[in-house]
Structure 1
Amino acid sequence: MTDLLIGPADTTVTITVQQRTSKAPADAFKVLVPIDLPNVFRPVAPFPGITRVENQTETWDHAGARRNPQFDDGSQADEQITEYTDGHSFAYQLTNFTNVLSRLAAGIRGEFNVNPDGPGTLIRWTYEFKPLPGRRWILAGPFTPLWRRYMTAALNRCVVVIEAADESPVGVTASTVSAQS
């Protein structure tokens, strides 16, 4: 059982972005879950990109799976899937940041939902920040538009990878995403 970072009594800061793809929900989900993080999480000032993933203990397709994203500023975080509904959604939490986020939030709950949208799919991605005491105003204020821009850029790159999935194997290379984004 995973210890959940955020509970019903917590006051959080939530940021949600969404994007559509022409792929069916099951196809979009199949590509989204194991997506290569360095291909889609690139730097968007002032935030770093992900350079690699370390310590992934299991396949990334069930609650309890863990890994450590490594950022291009030399920092890292702990990531763990907390919920997984095959073909529809997965949630995860990020904790133990070693960058500036460690001074703003106790952690983050992320969630991807993949929903039918006509002949395609609507992907909704939410980040829910659990602020440290006295830091909520920073996360809810000046931080929010910057983070939304970071999330939008990453989700747009996810959709490029999903749309290209028929032409390339899962784990599309960075050069493929670069050429299309």
Structure 2
Amino acid sequence: MGAKQSNLHWYVLAQDWNGCKRRLQKTNGAEAKSVNEHGDLPLHYACYNGLAPPDIILALLNAYPEAVRQENRLGRYPLELAMINYQIDDPYREEVLSLLRWYRPSSGDAADLNGLLPGIFSNKPPKQMYSPSALCVVCMEVPSTVAMIPCGHICFCMNCVSTAASCGKCPVDRCQIEGLYQLQEKQIITTHQSMVS
């Protein structure tokens, strides 16, 4: 690797996780934005080695939230690198993939789901929608109004979706969630009436 790397790049390469935290603190997160000659941010490096613990991934994301949507010169995003490099049986894999897939900087209002998850909700519904339960599968109190994309299972209410979908998989068929769709009032009535008939 080249000389244009920041100290934070080197700490990630060395897998010195405590050093990474100290460096982020010392530079007030500024080095999380540093790019080497290959277009790699420290977050890319953390995903390349497939060994960075979730708290390091989160610290890098908190320091530079835009890193999750930045590709390197090879056209690779951090999520793609993590999917390739974290082994299937790695205990960190699901949490790291979930962080990279769903992380958005906090708006300060925990109730503002769209502020916390911009870009995840689609205006276009899945091709087909299925309602395994009229009630949210998490709280079992509120009607389910959120469909998973691409599978179309309507499983969650808006109150539970941020925590329930954080694993990145549909609870019914375990497919990877690529997005979410909030049903409109007419769709909710039609979907839940079809379950009764």
Q: Same fold (TM over 0.5)?
A: no
Greater fraction of residues in helix: 2
**Which structure would you say has the larger RCO, counting Cα contacts within 8 Å and 6 or more residues apart?**
1
Which has the greater radius of gyration?
Answer: 2
Q: Give the structure-1-normalised TM-score.
A: 0.23
Q: Give the structure-2-normalised TM-score.
A: 0.22
